[in-house]
Structures are given as C-alpha cells and as structure tokens.
Amino acid sequence: MDSSNRPVALVTGASSGIGAALARELARHGHDLVLSARHREPMDGLAEELRGSGAAVTVIASDLSVAGATAALVQELAAASLDIDVLVNNAGLGSFGSFDRTDPARHAEIMQVNIVALTELTEMLLPAMLERRRGKVVLVASTASFLPCPNMAVYAASKAYVRSFGEALAQELKDTGVIVNVLCPGATATNFMAVAGGTPSGLQAHRMMSADAVARIGYAGMARGQRVTVTGLLNRLLAFAAIHTPHFVTLPATAKTLARD
C-alpha cells in the first residue's frame, strides 16, 4: 500500500454485496482500504477500481470460518505496517431452513464468522484505536437481530449477539474517541439469500434495497456517530414493531415468512 495521510479502513466480506459497496463508499470519502474475504479474485477487481479513484488498496484473502484466521489476518496487517482507523466487520454467513434439518457444520461456520471472528477482530484492533484516542468500528448486524427468526434460528441469534455486543461496546467507549456503530440492513439485493439457500418472500422483495443504498446510509450513520443504523424507513418501522410486539404474535408470522422446507 502506498503511504498517505488518508485513514485506512479494513472491510471484511469485501468481495461482493454490502462489503464491496461499503468499500466503495469509504474510498469515495477519502479512505484507503484493506479488503478481506475468502475469494481473492473479485477483490482484485474491486481493488483496481478503487485505485482508479485514488485510494491505496491492499487485498488479503482470509477465510474467517477457520479458527485462527483473525490472528493471521492481524499479523498480515502488522507485517504490512497498516494501522487500521476504521474496522468494518461485515463478513457474515446465513442459512435458511429448520434447525434440525440444517447441517451442524453450517451452524458452526455461521457462529465462527458472525460471532467469534467478529469479536476477535474487534478485540485485536481496538487497543491501537484506544491508544490513539480515535477510530471507528462498524459491526454489520441485520434487522433479524430484533426478533427470533424461526427457520433462520442460528443466523438471527448470531445477529442479535452482534447488535447487543455493539451497543454495549459503544456505551463502554463513549468517552474514548472510538465510535462503535451497528449497521442493521434489511433484505438487500446481494447473493446472500442464494448462498444461504433461500429466496426472498413477498415482504422481503417489497423492502429490498440495493447494496449501494445500504452502504450510503451505513456510512452516514457511522460518520454521525450513531449507535445503531437501520437502513430504510420500512425496515425501521419493522424493527420498532419487532421490539414492541409480543413474541407470540411475531414468531408465527416470522416462521411463515421464512418457511423454506
């Protein structure tokens, strides 16, 4: 990476979708980038695009579903003398289907990426931010974090962890100069559902947002220092309703919406 005075942002899950869109948005606002995801080839293409806009970009292939991958990623950052000013924990996995019919190995991958790797990477990069008394941590959760989701039980529970962790951490760090923002997208036009083994329901299709729109809203929320950013008016209304409606009402409706088997 070329040396510059631009802040450096690390985006995980940066090969496509919301991660790639967030990388573009960060570059547009004057950040250099470190892109990390399982697959290097799409990140190489994105890196060339971002370099064309004036950003310095480093690409690090890393499979965060593997134990120890976060430590190896941080070691690569140190070896390249990269100090991270903005950490975007975007990498995430999901799965549609009832708990008992889902491969336990998939559940393990979801928990490793969505919970363990996210927590470890925050834990490893936070001390330097605190020492400099500046930095930003973005944790990508989901509107699924606001209620239990039958047929996506482990995914929704993992995102509830992300939101709870992020909100608590934001309070702990409120006087340190480090901002923590939890980004909660709803249904987004990415390959997430296809990889997770599902297709959008009617409601999900109706509130589907582009990854670029999610990234713009997410960056604005981070820049304002928001604790939680829910993307889009309809998603905000649904999140509010999920919090204030009894589970005996929301659980059957959610199960029907997410039914895949």
Model confidence pLDDT, tens digit, residues 48-91: 999 999 999 999 999 999 999 999 999 999 999 999 999 999 99
CATH of domain 8-257: 3.40.50.720
Query: What is the greatest pairwise CA distance in the chain?
Result: 56
- The reply to whether 155 belongs to the active site is yes
- pLDDT band at residue 258 under the 50/70/90 scheme: confident
Strand ranges inside the chain, DSSP E: 8-12, 32-37, 57-61, 86-89, 135-140, 178-184, 228-230
The answer to whether 89 and 12 have CB atoms below 8 angstroms apart is yes
Give pLDDT, residue 192. 66
**Burial of 173 (C-beta count, 10 Å sphere; 0-12/13-18/19+):** middle
What's the first-to-final CA gap in the chain, in angstroms? Answer: 47
Domain ranges of the chain: 8-257
Indicate the DSSP class of residue 145: G
How many residues are given for the chain?
Answer: 261
**Mean pLDDT, residues 134-142:** 98
Strands of 121-239, DSSP E? 135-140, 178-184, 228-230
Evaluate if residue 254 carries a pLDDT over 90: no
Q: Tally Cβ neighbours within 10 Å of residue 213.
A: 16
Q: What is the pLDDT of residue 250?
A: 82
pLDDT on residue 213: 97
Determine which one of 155, 161, 165, 219 is catalytic: 155
pTM of full prediction above 0.85: yes
Q: For residues 89 and 138, is the Cβ–Cβ distance under 8 A?
A: yes
Average pLDDT over the chain reads 92
Q: How confident is the model at residue 101 (pLDDT cuts 50, 70, 90)?
A: very high
